[in-house]
Amino acid sequence: MPQRILAIEIAGDRLRAATADRTWNSFQFIGVFEAHRAEGEENLAPALRRLTEKTGHPDVVISALPTDSVAKRLLELPFRDLRKLHQVVPFALEEHLPFPVDGAAVTFVRVGRSGDNSLVLAASARKQEMQNHLQLLASAGLDPKTVTITPFAVAALFARSKNGKQASAHLVIDAEQSSTSFVLLDQKGIPRAMRTIAAGLLTPQGAARSADEMAPIVNTLRQTILAHTGELDHADLVITGRGAMIPKLRGSLSDALALATQDFDCSALFEGAHPDMIRFVSPVAMLLGEMPNHPVELLNFRQGEFAFRGRTRGDLTPFYTTGILAAALAGFMLLRFVLGVYGKIHHLHLLDHEIAKMAAPVLGGDASSDPMGQLRSGISSMDKQLRLLGGNTSRNSALDTLMTVSQTLPPRIPAELEEFQVDPTGLRVTGLADSFGTVDQVKRALDQSGAFGSIEVTHANSSNEPNKVEFRLSADFRGAEGTP
């Protein structure tokens, strides 16, 4: 089941949001939404609840602090180790803050490297601002996993879009009615300057303001570009937000700043992208932090005492350590099993080799690949020969049986035993007698010996010789299988 991602930006009395559905390998853009604080409402909590009714309850929430309440600095520090950066950045930022660092929530993200130096974008906000922000979202049942600022998210979105692939610096302006945010990106997509001005380039009716009304904002933009002239050879202008759809505003800013304008295209980043995304570029940009593949590392104020401790549906992060340990244990058990099997096979191979060496003198030089089987076959054959010769300790050998028959039959009995066969189960005799009575006398004599169980004359008939009876007799040894 996909996870619903909700990104929310608070802009004055207005909420702008973007949603997307995420699976393990896809990111489907759903849409953009807007909600306003109604007359008589004390804060934006009711508007937040109305917004979540439109978007559906999210699994992951990303929100943004108002950028005018956040101090931002681009710092170059002589470290590359991330642990040292966590220790040093708050103190390096302190000289730029109008309040003590102990009362601030500080975060940073590394945006570049130069030799052993790290280029980091650091931001700080008062802890009270963070508490108020989290309480406002909690009143609508929302607990944001990430609290960021929109200019850096927009910079990341722009760097990954088609425009960001061009080897040129860009000034990205988010033009709204009550505020103007901008970020200056160098050729590598690193934000060199970002700021939010509490004045808009649009009238309440959504039209472009006059040149005189825009003059303070234009002057600020021009000064920012001049301050970074040594780092940037040329910059192109990109306008987002509501002002992106107003040709007059695009032309006025392009002429005033002497910059060529470019269209912003982020359709390649999301499935289901549509033109309204340009008006809601800030919340859309925040979605990049939750993409399944190569997510953007956003500035995140949920650090330290404000760390996110919630759970999100489908988030398996708490089970990563257990899963790694279980996989390691399974791998160890599998390795032990394989080594055990290999050891036994090797031991068996050594035994087979020794058996082959021992059997070679007996079997000769052309011993088979199965000396054990060949030895068993030879032993069985020799055992049969020994048994027939009476050379073993078993009962009913051929010699014992022959002696028993010769002692049992009366002397001078008119019968001749022509064929005498002995096997482990009994005696088989073929012979000639002078009459059927003599055949019966032979049967009774064998029966009286006590050595045989079942005795049967299987054939008795007149012979071709005159006055002779041909007979066959079968006698089973007493105690043999199948005899009483």
**pLDDT tens series, the chain, 484 aa:** 789 999 999 877 889 999 999 988 888 899 999 999 998 888 899 999 999 999 988 999 999 998 878 888 888 888 888 888 888 888 888 777 766 778 889 999 988 887 788 889 899 999 999 999 999 999 999 999 999 998 888 888 877 775 545 567 888 898 888 888 888 888 877 888 888 888 889 888 888 999 899 999 999 999 988 888 877 777 888 888 888 888 899 899 999 999 888 877 776 677 777 767 878 888 999 999 999 888 988 999 998 889 998 766 555 555 567 778 888 899 999 999 999 899 889 888 888 777 777 766 665 555 556 666 776 777 777 776 666 555 544 566 777 788 888 888 888 888 888 888 888 788 888 988 888 888 888 888 888 888 888 888 888 888 888 888 899 999 888 876 555 5
**What gap in Å lies between CA 356 and CA 135, rounded to an integer?**
83
- pLDDT on residue 393: 47
The answer to whether the beta carbons of residues 352 and 360 sit under 8 Å apart is no
- pLDDT on residue 60: 94
- pLDDT on residue 276: 72
- pLDDT on residue 231: 72
- pLDDT on residue 301: 94
- pLDDT on residue 262: 82
Q: Where are the domains of the chain?
A: 163-264, 316-389, 395-477
Assigned fold of 163-264: Nucleotidyltransferase; domain 5 (3.30.420)
Tell me the CATH architecture of domain 395-477: 2-Layer Sandwich (3.30)
